[in-house]
């Protein structure tokens, strides 16, 4: 998914942040509406199976708690994804025996999305999900952010605490691994 871009009638993230800082609580609702779904998709894609909404909520609460100190050097979206990624990693570390790879059945159960039923029914797309499961956690993060969220390498590097060059390498390695999986 590309970055949720506000239409001409919609205020930008920066404008909504300014409104929030001045005490307008509706700005929070608009920002959550804009970014919650991509965050949920990203969190689920990283393997958080059962508590996607909780992670997304924690992400927003933490972000808004320190929004006064947000200087806008990175986009709000990048910042939110960085927080979400760290939360998922913290939870994974906190769980004993946590697995890095989520099976397609678990992912399906976690999403509970009607559209997913149709998607999983398609064997080709199911194969693609399995291909993503074979990636390393870093490759998976980079590939998801690049292909699903449409982030630039610069944004990805900010989210995964790496460099643009490293993000590019991870992406191409992930793409090669997926092609090999699908060719087999």
Partner 1 sequence: MTDCPRGDMRDLLPDLVHEQLDAATRAEVARHVASCAACAEELELLRSMRRALSPAPHVDVGRIAEAVVASRVAARDVPNVRRLAVRAAPRADRRMAWRIAAAFVIAAAGASGWVLVRGRPGTPTRPVATAPSHVDSVTAPPTVVAAQPHSPRRSQAVTAAPAQPKMLASTGLVMDGGVKDLSDGDVRMLLQSLDSLSTVPDADPAPMSYQVDDGGVQ
Q: Is 139:174 a contact under the CB 8 Å cutoff?
A: yes
Residues 165-184 that bind partner 1 (CB under 8 A): 168, 172, 175-176, 178-179, 182-183
Query: Is residue 89 part of the contact set for partner 1 (CB under 8 A)?
Result: no
Query: Which residues, 6+ apart, have CB-to-CB distance to 107 below 8 Å?
Result: 44, 49, 129
Q: Which stretch binds partner 1 (CB under 8 A): 8-16, 37-45, 69-77, 92-100?
A: 37-45
Q: Which of 19, 57, 86, 173 binds partner 1 (CB under 8 A)?
A: 57
Least distance (Å) between residue 166 CB and partner 1: 14
For the record, the structure tokens of 159 come out as: 């989210």
What gap in Å lies between CA 141 and CA 45, rounded to an integer?
Answer: 8
Query: Is residue 106 part of the contact set for partner 1 (CB under 8 A)?
Result: no
Q: Is 63:83 a contact under the CB 8 Å cutoff?
A: yes
75-80 own/partner pairs: CB under 8 Å, 24+ apart: 75/3, 75/13, 75/155, 76/13, 76/14, 76/17, 76/31, 76/35, 77/3, 77/4, 77/13, 77/35, 77/38, 77/155, 78/151, 78/155, 78/158, 78/159, 80/35, 80/39
Least distance (Å) between residue 105 CB and partner 1: 15
State which residue, 56 or 158, has the beta carbon closest to partner 1: 56
State which residue, 87 or 96, has the beta carbon closest to partner 1: 87
Residues 127-166 that bind partner 1 (CB under 8 A): 128-129, 132, 144, 146-148, 150, 152-153
Query: Is residue 125 part of the contact set for partner 1 (CB under 8 A)?
Result: yes
User: What region does 102 belong to: left with phi over 0, alpha with psi -120 to 50, or beta?
Assistant: beta
Residues in the site for partner 1, rule: CB under 8 A? 1-2, 25, 28-29, 32-33, 36-38, 40-41, 43-45, 52-53, 56-57, 60-61, 64-65, 110-113, 115-116, 119, 122, 124-126, 128-129, 132, 144, 146-148, 150, 152-153, 168, 172, 175-176, 178-179, 182-183
């Amino acid at each position: 998914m590309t970055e949720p871009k506000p239409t001409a009638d919609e205020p930008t993230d920066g404008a909504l942040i300014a409104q929030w800082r001045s005490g307008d609580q509706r700005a929070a609702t608009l920002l959550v509406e804009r970014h919650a779904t991509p965050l949920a998709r990203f969190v689920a894609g990283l393997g958080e199976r059962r508590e996607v909404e909780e992670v997304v909520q924690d992400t927003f609460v933490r972000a808004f708690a320190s929004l006064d100190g947000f200087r806008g050097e990175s986009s709000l979206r990048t910042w939110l994804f960085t927080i979400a990624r760290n939360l998922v990693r913290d939870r994974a570390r906190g769980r004993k025996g946590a697995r890095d790879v989520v099976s397609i059945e678990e992912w399906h159960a976690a999403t509970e999305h009607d559209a997913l039923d149709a998607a999983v029914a398609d064997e080709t797309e199911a194969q693609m999900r399995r291909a993503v499961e074979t990636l390393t956690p870093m490759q998976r993060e980079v590939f998801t952010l690049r292909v699903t969220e449409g982030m630039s390498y610069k944004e990805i590097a900010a989210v995964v605490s790496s460099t643009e060059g490293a993000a590019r390498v991870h992406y191409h390695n992930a793409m090669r691994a997926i092609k090999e999986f699908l060719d087999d």
